[in-house]
Amino acid sequence: MDEIDRAILNNYQGGFPICERPYLAVAEKLGISESELIERLQSMLEKKQLSRFGPMYHAERLGGGLSLCAMHIPEAEYERVNEQVNAFPEVAHNYARDHTFNMWFVLATETPERISTVLKEIEQTTGFKVYNMPKKKEFFIGLKFEV
């Protein structure tokens, strides 16, 4: 990852311009072309330096469901299960933790009822139990990772 890639990640994690040509606006600030910016983002996605690139929606305000989930995965199975879990479009923010429950992710679904369906699908696909921990109260703490 070079300085331009770092600048992309460090400057635009918290928001992207809302305008007719947002990629062009960002590229101009970085001193690169719009096509180079798009190529760099695609490359970071392909190299798995980014897990996704796109807007974050508040699922519950749109009528959907949202829940924090955890799994206990043996180290030898972790990479396989991680790929399987991340293949579900409803999964976001999947992180490894140094804990008995070593895989944590957020599940966002189109409807609240779909949460239990997706959890069962993940369990069937991976062979491991998913612990569902729906929120009782929401706190916003803004999260940004400097690279």
pLDDT band at 29 (very low <50, low <70, confident <90, very high): very high
Q: Which pLDDT value is given to residue 138?
A: 73
Q: Which pLDDT value is given to residue 142?
A: 64
Helices (H) and strands (E) in the chain, counts: 5, 4
71 and 115 share a domain?
A: yes
Residue 139 counted as domain residue: no
71 and 112 share a domain?
A: yes
**0.75 surpassed by pTM:** no
Quote the number of domains for the chain: 2
Average pLDDT over residues 86-97: 90
pLDDT band at 140 (very low <50, low <70, confident <90, very high): low
Q: How far apart are CA 23 and CA 33, in angstroms?
A: 9
34 and 84 share a domain?
A: no
Q: How far apart are CA 28 and CA 12, in angstroms?
A: 13
* pLDDT over threshold 80, residue 139: no
Residue 40 counted as domain residue: yes
